[in-house]
Amino acid sequence: MGKILLLEDEESVNRGISFTLEKEGFEICSCGCLQEAMHRFDAFAPELLICDVTLPDGSGLDMVRYARKRSDVYTICLTALDSEIDQVMGYESGADDYITKPFSLSVLTLKVRAFFTRKENGPRALIGSGELKIDTAAMKVWKNGEEISLTRNEWRLLNLFISNPGQVISKDRMLERLFDTDDHFVDENTAAVNIRRLREKIGDEAKNPRYIRNIRGLGYLWEETCTPV
């Protein structure tokens, strides 16, 4: 049904998660430390990573970054830390979701099921966000019914934002995942220029943003909700 790499050092928690998800039909690769998870990641090729943040041999965020450099694996972080800055750090590392301990196994199971259901059904084609309608398959954008012309990099940037609404996207992630896909060197200024141009085209004011908000020192996030239309 789906391959999940679980990184959790608390044996009882690890067993509970593994048992519950295996009963649901998922294939689980269970690891108790950072080095073991890194060693087994490539060979197992998981579709989903469930990762504890506090580990005996390092930080789970290092695992998130390690995985993010190798694939688009969806990542759920587990942690006893619940402050806003801890969550931002998780998202900045590339995490897709965040669950604070203690948590309900039923909630985790629902999140896992939801991910694999979305994956099986394929990506949403039409997304509505504020005054924008975005066709992710055709790579087209309209504002109040009028089509907006975007460059390739502007489209990549927009697509990253609407795929992660409400999540902080670091400048490093933008550079690594968007602008360097053709092995061309791009500096931070290029990312900033593309953000400015995208803002201009969608009518987003930097001083009073509706869509793209600058999180000083961390990156940017998409403020508006994104829903299928």
Q: Considering 121, 144, 168, which residue would you say is the last residue of a domain? A: 121
Residue 31 — φ and ψ, nearest 5°? -130, 150
- Confidence (pLDDT) at 183: 43
Query: How many separate domains does the chain show?
Result: 2
Taking the whole predicted model, whether its pTM rises above 0.75 is answered as no
Give the CA angle between residues 18, 103, 23 to the nearest 5°: 25
* Under-70 pLDDT residues of the chain: 81-92, 121-125, 176-188
pLDDT score, position 91: 60
Question: 175 in the Ramachandran plot: left (φ > 0), alpha (ψ -120 to 50) or beta?
Answer: alpha
Question: Do 103 and 144 reside in the same domain of the chain?
Answer: no
Residue 86: predicted pLDDT: 62
The helix/strand/coil state of 62 is helix
CATH of residue 166: 1.10.10.10
CB 90, CB 59: distance < 8 Å: no
Please name the helix (run of DSSP H) or strand (run of DSSP E) that holds residue 92, with its range, or none: helix 84-92
151, 98: one domain: no
Cβ contact 176:187 at 8 Å:
no
What whole-number distance in Å separates Cα of residue 222 and Cα of residue 213? 6
Domain that holds residue 173: 126-228
Residues 115 and 134 in one domain: no
User: According to the model, what pLDDT value does residue 168 have?
Assistant: 86
Q: What angle do CA 67, 88, 221 make, to 5 degrees?
A: 95
pLDDT of residue 8: 96
Coil vs helix vs strand at 37: helix
Q: What is the pLDDT of residues 134-172, one digit of tens each?
A: 988 777 899 998 999 888 788 888 988 988 888 888 887
